[in-house]
Structure 1
Amino acid sequence: MRKFLVATSAIAIAFTSQPALAQDNQDESTEAERAGGLNVITVTAQRREESLQDAAIPINAVSGEELERTGVVDVTQLNKVAPALYVPESGGANVGYFIRGVGNFANNGYTNPAVAFNLDGVYIGRPSSTVASFLDVNRVEVLKGPQGTLYGRNATGGAVNVIPNTPRLGVLEGSVSAQYGNYDAIETTGVVNLPMGDRVAARLAGTYSERDGYYDDGTGAKEDLALRGQLFFEISPAADIRLSADYSTQKGTGPGIDIDGVYTFAPFTPDATVPNWQFIAAPASVREPFTGLFAPQSLEFIEDNATAAPLYSPVTGYDYPYRDDEYWGINAEFNLDLGAADLVVIPAYRRSELDNQFNGAPFKAGINQDTAEQFSIEGRLSGDTGPLEWLLGAYYFDESVEGLNSYNQFSTVSFQDFATDTESVAVFARASFSVTEDFRVVGGIRYTDESRSIDALSISTTGVCLIEPEFGPPSCPQVPTIPVGLTLQESLAQLDPSLFPAGSPLDSPVPYGAFPYGPFGAMGPQALLINTPTQIVRSSGDDEITWRAALEYDVTPDNLVYASFETGFRAGGFNLTFGQEEYDPEYIDAYTIGSKNSFFDNRLQLNFEAFYWDYSGQQLAALGVDDRGNNSFYTRNVGQSSIKGAEIDFQALLTETTLLRGGVQYLDATYDSFVYDQVDLSDDTDPPNFLTPITGCDYTQNLGAQRSFTIDCSGKPALNAPDWTINLGVQQTFEMRDYEVIATLDGRYRSEREVGFNYLPTGNAGDDVTIDASISLVPYDKGFTASVFVRNLTNESMRSLYQLGAANVASSTFEPPRTFGVRVGYAF
């Protein structure tokens, strides 16, 4: 509560969800801008150009200029400008997308995001890379709620549209800039627009950035490169075509993790943290934010307190993480004025190659080597017929992913070799009928037919300790844990052959089954190494009709009210998990009422939105236990939720040089039904409710041929869904002869929120207040620019993800600490 009062009283230290200083790609000014009012941003979220204030949909939008000023260089920072959006990183190239509690913790090669990521009008099936996406950006649009009519494929939670600047005819312009900050952060960027005759123009952009790791152990480091080239041809006054190609790489370590503690088995302990499990908190020297897994004190704490069942060998030998990922794509946009209608065709091809190793959740190592290729084409025909504005469209998407993955958790390893194919076809239509000059009825419909297949081999390798003392758990201190490798052969080849007294699995015609493992004792082998294959060859598909109905009324030319209902669905899919090989589609219905208002000659903008979402069959991808008892990452349908709330944002031009802006979102997101089953790993001789799940939810034990637990998290708040998000801020401009100095003081309050799937009492992120500030020297026309900035001024430690990994080691991933720097540039 103290932080809430600080946030609300410091009215000049936060940031709006809809920044004011946006310009379109051609530097056009509206009459309001020329009259000295607030600048107007043009959006295309409804597949047509309109001002943000005229778009009768739930949307946040921000210009590329403001993104640069506020330090938003990738999607993980977009919560600064879109309070509903959370994008936590979980390791390697895995990022999760949540809008108002709807989303996934991570997206691997065979899962689909709940939030559609669109770059330059192209849906990105594997949204791992955000480097090229945020290069030479014109604007970013964040749409909230299902996008069931105009967007495909699986936009149940919303959509993020990143729109780059495009070539300009007859204009020679460009810019160069360089930035340096703490953590030895370096960034250089160059952009040039080249006229190539009266009807042809090119635009080239590139950026390179690197920094040291945020964590003391060196993790959190990055080295990124992004390039984009575009050509624009005006074929005739009625036809034009734009070609675009981009290339980017991401290197470094990927995000780091901090060790929070270990959950140890404590059966029938009255004061256990959760039933039968006692949390041993790591000492302050380990838990201090940004210490890192590989700090000596962290590794020592884990070795002294954690034991990975069922091998029960020392938990040592974490492999250091790395990233070496590559992405590229080509796309085109063809526009043709047919007189009575306009035709737009967007073909695209993209490819990503991942090669990364990570430790979060605390794995000995997770390795991803995935190659994804996608082809898509979208066509839209639109026009006006009297009072009717209409749009017809068709969409085709074809994606194939081939991957080799390995997830090593010391005693268990999952080796995965998979190939997936997805084909999605959709047709859609939208119409807006003006009943009167001020009142419109809007309708949209989309039919989607998706087919998918998978051909995969998943090998579970498990080390089982056979030494069971009379008192205490099994113990095999002389048996090594399983080495890190991409394949079973690569992993076992690192072991001394003498560890297999009856012969190595590599020497067997079939490397599956149980093999004596470890030094040979008086009673025989100390352990077994068990290799179990799971072949998954399946095909499936879904088809669905989604639709939208809305009413829009212009109370005055500057005041809009609207109400809408929209449906959305996300297709089902496959898991490489024994007993959980498939999951079903999810569905969402969204009700929205809103109002957008401009007052005092557009010197004040005040917008309001109230919403209610009914979510069923909800998919959630997270770490769990498969039906053999092995830890696994998979998607499951957990139930349904009710999501309701309201959002208000404003911006006010108090004087010609003073801008006040802010926003408040209240969110009540609760799981009405959140139920799933988990296998019981206890023996038949163990008493009931003995080896219980590590969860903060209720559960019941199911006794039978296969013991299991039904875990019930119903009534819990949705993940990454704080009740309150408050953004407030001030921007002051000081006018000089040839320059203006722009000073901003921005910040954000977020109430406590759940950031871990297990709802553990140790996994709440708490509330936080962050403050950003900048001072920029900007020429009225072209020339030298300079700025100094600080982000997270108070160095707030903000958890973005909480995970329980191998040996029940709990870890946290943090948003960036305090960063500061200086940026200089020249525009011509």
Structure 2
Amino acid sequence: MQDMAAVSLPRIPHRLGFLGQRLHQDFVDTLYTTLYTSSPLSSCKRFEMKRKTPGQKRLAAAALLYWQRGQSMIRQAPRFDLARFRKHAGTLALTSLAGLWALVAAPAATAQEDAQASGASGALEEIVVTARKREENLQDIPLTIDVISGDLMRSGGIETIDDIEYAVPGLAVGNRGFNGAYLGLRGISSIRSFVGDESAVAVHLDGVFLPQSPQAFGNLFDIERIEVLKGPQGTEYGRNATAGVINVVTANPETEASSGDVNASFGSHGAVRMNGMANIVTGESSALRVAVSVAESDGYIRNVIDGSDVGGEDYSAGRISWLLETSESTRLLLKYQHSRNERPQVKIPRVPPNGNATQNGLNALARAGVSDFHDTIINVPISSDRTDDNLSLQIDWDMGSFGIRSITGYTSFDNEVTLDFTLEPATSGDASTDGQSPNSNEGTSMSQELQIFALDPGRMDWRLGLYWIDTEAEETRFVSSGGLFYVPDTVLPFSAYYDDFLLDQEGSAYSVFGELSFALSDDLGMTVGLRYTDEDKTQTQTETAGGDIPTACGGGPIGFAWCGESRLYTDTASRSWSDTSGRLSLEWTPSDDLLAYASYSSGFRSGAIGGVIGFDNFAADGGWNYDGSGVYRGPNGTLGLQPFEPETVDNIEIGVKSTLMDGRLQLNASWFFSRFEDQLVFQVDPEQQFRLIEGNIGESEATGVDFQVNWAVSEVLLLSLGGQVLDTEIVDLGNFDASGGAKEGIALPRAPEFSYAASVQYAAPVGNSGELSIRGEYNYKDDVFMDLSDRRPQDAVGLFNVILRYESGGNWYAFLNGRNLSDEEYLLDNEARVDSGGGAALQNASPGAPRTYEVGVGIRF
């Protein structure tokens, strides 16, 4: 055996220079002094003796040296230091990547020889994605991407984007129904406050951008895959992708043969679901695909007023897709989808531990009789009726040396919701009038994208494009309350108020973009991209506010009710913005199984027209002036609405993707640092509910590490582990209103310091042709706060799921899944309510689903 004292670490090639050498040398020091863990490589002496090739012996020797040096440092570190770990997280990421490269580089030269000798038996399946608007192997793309396959979705009970939140580390999802929805990645998330606001995560359905984030929360059916791109994607996807992109790709028609698939399932809380698909070949070069989905359930939230279950599914949808190849050079793909969702929006009342004592006392009465986590109080009719229509037309032309692609998109939605506004009365039989809020919003968008790209790129690949979108949206809200500060009329008579609100917004944007990838050498490449965007918005708000307090009170405001009169507020504001975003990436591929990359990218999120005239600005501006025509405007002639600047981001990412062990092991990791300027934030002021705090944070940062390990242990056993370590901070508030609890130095909301998704899948043959697969999942998220204060916490939670699927080998299959088997109680979101004493006194929260089961059977034909 070689003398270990004479072994040196694998060298970093001279291309990386001093920085690479330094990072490589620091790998062990940083790793072991911060993590304080022992290594499983203590047995690598035996490991080395079994190896035969010089490269593998060198790998084993280096690994043992790493372990020996680490043991020495462990003895000098008495305990794990979390603060030190967070402080050095960036250095740890860089050095870990360098160390990982060193371990991978040594055996890379012999990987092909070994693969030829042993064959590819049991290798991981290649995953093809269109994240960069062309088909590519996932391992060949210098981006951090998580993929959820359609097969896993169908057998695992994944019905909506909500269901993949815990399966994708770093993804934050919250469907607040009419009141908004948020999507977040890598610690950057946003709440849609009103129908015209933009998200930090762009959602695309079959290549068409969905401008309103709630459009992404319909049921998912007949899906090919979901791609989650982490980090800003300003070049390929343009505006509103500062945190990342979610691509939903539905299944395409197939021209090879006609086929079909129908399945039905039954589950907890009276759930019944049916899905069907028929692929019909209509000619040698054309096919039609029809898919339908229906879902109903009783709901898992109990209304203590009458004991009924509420919030259940009531969903139906259909999609028709047509593929036509008119010639060898022309291909047309048309898709139309219609859906209707009548699931009502239901919240549960919660009393947080840090609320105002007086208000907590009153609201403790409101919780009387609400003994279970999933109990609520609803005594007014609630309803929801939402319809969505999505149309996409993609036409591809093969022009020989280059291709042309046209993507035309149309989306529309119409939503009518009636909510229980206050979740009162306190107990069953209370005669007070409760708050009710009927609302509606609707919108349309029309978009067109044109791409010209290389078909046979060779050492140079390029893509040019034009994009245009036009949007319109309207929203109405009406709120009536049975009591001032949610105290029933029986306690404070005549304290009700009402608020009638109308919003109308129009917007348009266009952009031009280009990307060029070229080879600097046989194993070194570069990608350069640039995109220019120009957009404008116009918004009009009208609000009528009033109350039923007697006029004897003098006409001045008491709380949020005005004495015996109605007041009309109106305002219109317009704004235009422009931005240039780019991408620069270096990719090094010393072999077919290894990719290392370093990139810089930027992006921007559309500016907003913010502020809600009426209640919020009355408190903020000190009153409104009557102009003699029944219209009130802001003091000193100012208007209530104001524009907010676009959110911009600069991101640096260094990553590695590797495939080892004859294709049976994948090790991927990336370190990133993002600096945001003018981050757009919206939240309800917890001390004055009708005042909406919306604006730009001066500067915020997010630093972290993403990692993914996939290991096909054998032909029947697959292990996967993906995770994210994250550190976020508000560096400079700028001019943002801090009255809601925001302050410099705190973490961003919905940004867990640690999250991971682990799975074990075992597949074994049954009988002559059948197969039984068992998949266990454990998905974990660290504790977070839901807003920019500490008043809406969510504790750390881990969800355990099990999926069983039987394939008969013929034309039928069956599946059984259990989700949240440990029956964890957790919140998807919570909203702070009014409190005049310094803490959120009552919260309306959206609870996560309890333990659920589903069993189903399907037939293929």
Match of 1:597 among 648, 658, 669: 658
In 1, Cα distance between equivalents of 2:357 and 2:267: 47
Q: Is the 8 A contact 1:515 1:529 kept in 2?
A: no
Query: For each residue in 1:420-472, what CA deviation from the matched residue of structure 2 results, as whole angstroms up to 9, or x when unmatched?
Result: 1110100100110111122111111100000111122122335658899xxxx
The structural deviation recorded for 1:788 is 1.1
Q: Secondary structure at the match of 2:151?
A: helix
2:780 is the alignment partner of 1:749: yes
In the alignment, is residue 257 of structure 1 matched against residue 290 of structure 2? Answer: no
Question: Which residue of 2 is the match for residue 714 of structure 1?
Answer: 744
Q: Does 1:461 align with 2:492?
A: no
Structure 1 CA distance for aligned equivalents of residues 720 and 355 of structure 2? 48
Quick one: higher RCO (CA 8 Å, sep 6+), 1 or 2? Answer: 1
CA pair 456-283 structure 1, distance change in 2 beyond 3 A: closer
- Of residues 678, 683, 700, the one that matches 1:641 is 700
SS at match of 1:65: helix
Letter in 2 for 1:651: N
Q: Which residue of 2 aligns with 1:440?
A: 525
Q: Relative to structure 1, is the Cα distance of residues 711 and 741 closer, same or farther in structure 2, using a 3 angstrom cutoff?
A: closer
The corresponding residue for 2:753 is 723
How many angstroms apart in 1 are the aligned matches of 2:247 and 2:807? 27
Distance verdict in 2 for CA 1:440–1:360, change over 3 Å: farther
Partner of 1:611: 672
Is the counterpart of residue 734 in structure 1 residue 761 in structure 2? no
Q: Partner residue of 1:401? A: 473
- The one-character-per-residue Cα deviations of 1:254-297 (angstroms, maximum 9, x if unpaired) are 24323235987669xxxx99xxx999697685363111133xxx
Preserved CA contact (<8 Å) 1:76 1:89: yes
SS for the counterpart of 2:850 is: coil
The residue that corresponds to 2:858 in the other structure is 825
Q: Is contact 1:263–1:809 with CA below 8 Å preserved after alignment? A: no
Paired position in structure 2 for 1:135? 221
Equivalent position of 1:799 in the other structure: 827
Cα–Cα, structure 1 residues 756 and 360, in superposed 2: closer, same or farther, change >3 Å?
farther
Would the aligned equivalents of 2:162 and 2:217 in 1 still touch at CA under 8 Å? no
How far apart are the structure 2 equivalents of 1:414 and 1:632?
Answer: 13
Q: CA deviation at 1:80?
A: 3.1
SS at match of 1:631: coil
Give the Å deviation of 1:601.
1.3
Structure 2 CA distance for partners of 1:584 and 1:154, relative to 1, 3 Å: same
Q: SS where residue 568 of structure 2 aligns? A: strand
* Contact in 1 for aligned 2:546/2:562 (Cα 8 Å): no
User: CA 1:362–1:392 in structure 2 vs 1: closer, same or farther (change >3 Å)?
Assistant: farther
**CA 1:516/1:660 → structure 2, altered by over 3 Å: closer, same or farther?**
closer
How far did residue 74 of structure 1 move? Answer: 0.8
* Contact preservation (8 Å) 1:261, 1:281: no
Could you tell me which residue of structure 2 aligns to residue 496 of structure 1?
Answer: none
Q: Does 1:94 align with 2:180?
A: yes
Choose from 223, 239, 258 the match for 2:314. 223
Amino acid at match of 1:289: F
1:532 to partner: Cα distance: 2.8
User: Residues 788 and 711 of structure 1: is their aligned pair in 2 closer, same or farther, counting only changes over 3 Å?
Assistant: closer
Give the CA deviation at 1:101: 2.1
Q: Which residue of 1 aligns with 2:817?
A: 789
Partner Cα separation in structure 1 for residue 763 and residue 597 of structure 2? 35
Q: Distance in 1 between matches of 2:692 and 2:119?
A: 51
1:156 has 2:237 as partner:
no
The reply to whether residue 565 of structure 1 matches residue 610 of structure 2 is no
C-alpha distance in structure 2 between counterparts of 1:445 and 1:552, whole Å: 18
TM-score, length-scaled by structure 1? 0.78
The one-letter amino acid paired with 2:699 is: Q
Q: Which amino acid aligns with 1:765?
A: Q
Check whether the contact 2:223–2:250 (CA below 8 A) recurs between aligned residues: yes
Shift in alpha-carbon separation, 1:438–1:529, aligned structure 2, 3 A: farther
- Within 2, Cα distance between the matches of 1:406 and 1:671? 35
Shift of 1:536: 1.5
Residue 121 of structure 1 corresponds to which residue in structure 2? Answer: 207
Structure 2 letter corresponding to 1:612 = F
3-state SS in 1 of match to 2:239: coil
Contact 2:729–2:746 (Cα < 8 Å) also in 1: yes
**Partner SS, residue 545 of structure 2:** strand
How large is the RMSD of aligned CA atoms in angstroms? 3.1
Tell me how far 1:362 sits from its aligned partner: 5.9
Residue in structure 2 matching 1:767, options 777, 786, 796: 796
Deviations 1:150-203 (A, max 9, x none): 103311111110000101113111100001001000000100100001111000
2:414 aligned to which of 353, 377, 385: 353
Q: Which residue of 1 aligns with 2:453?
A: 382
User: What displacement does 1:646 show?
Assistant: 0.5
Question: What SS does the corresponding residue of 2:153 show, helix, strand or coil?
Answer: helix
- Give the Å deviation of 1:361: 8.0
Shift of 1:584: 1.7
Which of 660, 666, 669 does residue 728 from structure 2 map onto? Answer: 669
What is the match of residue 65 of structure 2?
Answer: none
**Is contact 1:260–1:812 with CA below 8 Å preserved after alignment?**
no
Instruction: Name the aligned partner's letter for residue 779 of structure 2.
Output: R
Measured at CA, do residues 140 and 253 of structure 1 come closer, stay the same or move farther in structure 2, by a change above 3 Å?
same
Judge which range, 548-557 or 247-256, deviates more. Answer: 247-256
Higher strand fraction: Structure 1 or Structure 2?
1
Give how far 1:241 is off: 0.3
Q: Distance in 1 between matches of 2:375 and 2:552?
A: 36
**In 2 relative to 1, CA 666–563 (structure 1 residues): closer, same or farther, beyond 3 Å?**
same
Q: Is residue 2:807 matched to residue 1:778?
A: yes
Question: Any residues of structure 2 matched to 1:303-452 within 5 Å, and which?
Answer: 319-359=380-420, 364-383=435-454, 384=456, 386-408=458-480, 410-411=483-484, 412-452=497-537
List alignment gaps of at least 5 residues for structure 1.
1-8, 10-29, 295-317, 469-512, 518-525, 679-698, 700-708
Cα distance in 1 for residues equivalent to 2:256 and 2:420: 51
- Where does residue 146 of structure 2 map in the other structure? 60
Name the aligned partner's letter for residue 560 of structure 1.
Answer: L
Contact 1:214 1:817 in 2 (8 A): yes
AA paired with 2:700?
Answer: S
What is the CA-CA distance between 1:71 and the residue it aligns to?
2.3
Aligned with residue 338 of structure 2, among 235, 247, 250:
247
User: Helix, strand or coil: the match of 1:670?
Assistant: strand
The code of the aligned residue for 1:607 comes to N
- 5+ residue gaps, structure 2, are 1-39, 41-114, 304-308, 425-434, 485-496, 618-639, 836-840
Closer, same or farther: CA 711–37 of 1 in aligned 2, 3 Å: closer
Whether the aligned pair in 2 keeps the contact of 1:135 and 1:207 (CA below 8 Å) is yes
- Within the candidate set 194, 198, 202, 2:280 is matched to 194
- Measure the CA separation in 2 of the matches of 1:137 and 1:740: 23
Q: CA contact under 8 A between 2:416 and 2:441: conserved in structure 1? A: yes
Q: Which residue of 1 aligns with 2:198?
A: 112
Provide the rounded CA distance (Å) in 1 between the counterparts of 2:764 and 2:525: 43
| Paired AA for residue 726 in structure 1 | Y
Instruction: Give the aligned residue type for 1:538.
Output: A
- Aligned equivalents of 1:71, 1:666: Cα separation in 2: 27
Q: Is the 8 A contact 2:279 2:289 kept in 1?
A: yes
Are the aligned partners of 1:350 and 1:373 in contact in 2 as well (CA < 8 Å)? Answer: yes
> Deviations for 1:732-767, whole angstroms, at most 9, x for unmatched residues?
11112121000111111221111244422xx22111
Shift of 1:403: 2.3
| Match of residue 842 from structure 2 | 809
Report Cα offsets for 1:81-107 as digits up to 9, x if no partner. Answer: 311111112233732111122122335
**More displaced stretch, 388-397 vs 793-802:** 793-802
> How many percent of aligned residue pairs carry the same amino acid?
24
Which structure has the highest helix share of the two?
Answer: 2
Deviation of the 1:710 alpha carbon: 8.3
* CA apart distance, 1:407: 3.9
Number of aligned positions between the proteins? 687
**8 Å contact kept, 2:234–2:242:** yes
